[in-house]
Amino acid sequence: MTEQSAQHPRGWQWVAMLVAAILVLLLTCAFSMLWGGAIGFVLGRASAPRGPYAPALPERQIPPIPEPLPMPPLDAPRPYLGVTFQMTEAGALIRQVVVGSPADVAGVEVGEIITHVDGQRITEARPLDQVILAYSPGDRIGLTLLRNSQERQVRVRLGSRMPMEMPRQENPFELLPGGSG
């Protein structure tokens, strides 16, 4: 061996030293993580309050579910207001008023928001159509309308409308051409 090769390591020796250094670094990190987690767990358990005087966790406040409104029989006439609406946070936003309908006769206009029916608040949990179904055709109801931050009250006599009936058939294949099933 020459004097120069004994003083300077060869290429494979550099690679071996680099791999050894990386391995030592990884092992050190892994052990530090394990010891840190174990010590944190022990300290957390030791400092946690126990027994009857431990503070209770706050319970999440859940609003009560409103009781379902009574529904008329399927073949009974339904109360009819004559509006198309979209539920918002403020109430039922009127999108369309049917010409000649009870709402049209009472002066309800597109763009108004129905906020109350007979003092009962209209919400997304209790939408306008469900509240109207609790009444009977011919009942007079009071609507609270909101437009441009101005409230107004109107009285409406609900109309009557029969529910749409689906035609029933015994054999669904009777209408197919050339076949009976």
Task: Look at residue 143 and tell me if it is in a domain.
Answer: yes
In percent, how much of the chain has pLDDT > 90?
42
Judge if 36 and 94 occupy the same domain. no
- Poorest-pLDDT segment among 35-39, 46-50, 111-115: 46-50
Judge if 87 and 39 occupy the same domain. no
Task: Look at residue 64 and tell me if it is in a domain.
Answer: no
Task: Look at residue 57 and tell me if it is in a domain.
Answer: no
Judge if 88 and 21 occupy the same domain. no
Domain total for the chain?
A: 2
Q: Domain range for residue 127?
A: 78-161
Rounded to whole angstroms, how far apart are CA atoms 120 and 118? Answer: 6
State how far the alpha carbon of 148 is from the alpha carbons of 58, 78, 81, 111, 119, in Å: 40, 32, 23, 9, 20
Judge if 155 and 83 occupy the same domain. yes
In percent, how much of the chain has pLDDT > 70?
72
Output the pTM of the full model. 0.52
Judge if 36 and 87 occupy the same domain. no
Q: What are the pLDDT digits (tens) for 112-140? A: 999 999 999 999 888 998 899 889 899 99
Model confidence band, residue 179 (pLDDT cutoffs 50, 70, 90): very low
Task: Look at residue 63 and tell me if it is in a domain.
Answer: no
Task: Look at residue 171 and tell me if it is in a domain.
Answer: no
Task: Flag whether pLDDT at 157 surpasses 60.
Answer: yes
Q: Please say whether the beta carbons of 94 and 114 come within 8 A.
A: yes
Summarize the confidence of residues 104-115 as an average pLDDT: 94
The CATH number covering residue 91 comes to 2.30.42.10
Rounded to whole angstroms, how far apart are CA atoms 12 and 124? Answer: 74
Model confidence band, residue 180 (pLDDT cutoffs 50, 70, 90): very low
Judge if 40 and 109 occupy the same domain. no
Task: Flag whether pLDDT at 181 surpasses 90.
Answer: no
- Poorest-pLDDT segment among 9-23, 76-90, 165-179: 165-179
Judge if 42 and 93 occupy the same domain. no
